[in-house]
């Protein structure tokens, strides 16, 4: 019997990180709900997970911009034991700077949209007095950098939201985990020149998530070197920081 709260609902399950996390929880014996846009594309994943790990897997439609959170969870028929929010959008910094609609899309996809779904799940878990909420944020939210400050600002808001929610729910026995990956080799980062020594794979993120869930860790960096890197970046004096090409 798995020690993780089940079912595990993964929002953004078509992403590389979402797929890796689904595999990790299925391997641990959890029932899984794969939620994403164009969810029919997840049928092969569903069949593979059920066959390989002998767990129940459902596929449901989920659109961060158009699905109503309360209606989504009501449609599941049961409250999630674990909610993993991995939906997000990197966007393009230059496009976002020059197009209000693009900037709003990045901000909504990385903060306001995920927060609404997490709040809806939190209400259910608080009433039941159990559950785990896992939000995949980013090291980009630790300090606004010129190279990606729109994406980073949304992730900073999401990180602060998760921190406050964690404190709010602690007496309700609902655990909230903040996951901060650095560079991850995924389809979203395809074409970017990523430094190999500090670039993780989706499976690395999945292992870190399950380990944090089992240990009830609050905040994790993937991998650990990012904790040191971001500490140095946060401690840089503003006159120095704003002149760096970061």
Q: Which residues are catalytic?
A: 151
3-state secondary structure of 99: coil
CA distance 54 to 71: 29
- How many CA atoms lie within 13 Å of 62's alpha carbon, on the beta-carbon side? 31
Determine the straight-line distance between the first and last CA of the chain, rounded to whole angstroms: 46
36 forms beta bridges with 61
Six token digits for residue 123? 């209400």
**Taking every pair of C-alpha atoms in the chain, what is the biggest distance, in angstroms?**
57
State the DSSP string of 207-226: HHHHHHHHHT-SEEEESTHH
Q: In what order do the strands lie in the sheet with 174-181?
A: 57-61, 32-36, 8-11, 82-85, 131-136, 174-181, 219-222
CA distance 165 to 139: 19
């Amino acid at each position: 019997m798995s020690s993780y709260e089940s079912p595990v609902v993964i929002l953004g399950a078509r992403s590389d990180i979402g797929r890796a996390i689904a595999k990790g929880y299925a391997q641990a014996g959890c029932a899984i709900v794969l939620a994403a846009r164009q969810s029919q594309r997840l049928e092969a994943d569903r069949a593979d997970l059920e066959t390989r790990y002998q767990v129940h897997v459902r596929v449901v439609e989920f659109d961060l911009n158009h699905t109503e959170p309360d209606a989504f969870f009501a449609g599941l028929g049961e409250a999630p034991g674990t909610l993993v929010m991995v939906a997000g959008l990197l966007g393009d910094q230059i496009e976002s700077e020059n197009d209000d609609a693009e900037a709003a899309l990045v901000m909504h996809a990385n903060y306001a949209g995920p927060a609404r779904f997490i709040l809806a799940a939190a209400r259910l878990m608080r009433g039941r007095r159990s559950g785990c909420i896992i939000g995949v944020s980013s090291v980009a939210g630790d300090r606004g950098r010129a190279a990606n400050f729109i994406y980073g600002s949304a992730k900073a808001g999401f990180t602060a939201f998760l921190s406050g929610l964690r404190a709010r729910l602690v007496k309700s026995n609902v655990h909230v985990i903040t996951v901060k990956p650095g560079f991850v080799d995924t389809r979203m980062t395809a074409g970017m020149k990523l430094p190999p020594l500090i670039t993780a794979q989706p499976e690395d993120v999945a292992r870190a998530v399950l380990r944090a869930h089992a240990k009830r860790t609050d905040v994790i960096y993937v991998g650990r070197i990012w904790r040191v890197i971001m500490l140095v970046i946060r401690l840089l004096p503003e006159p120095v920081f704003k002149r760096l090409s970061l």
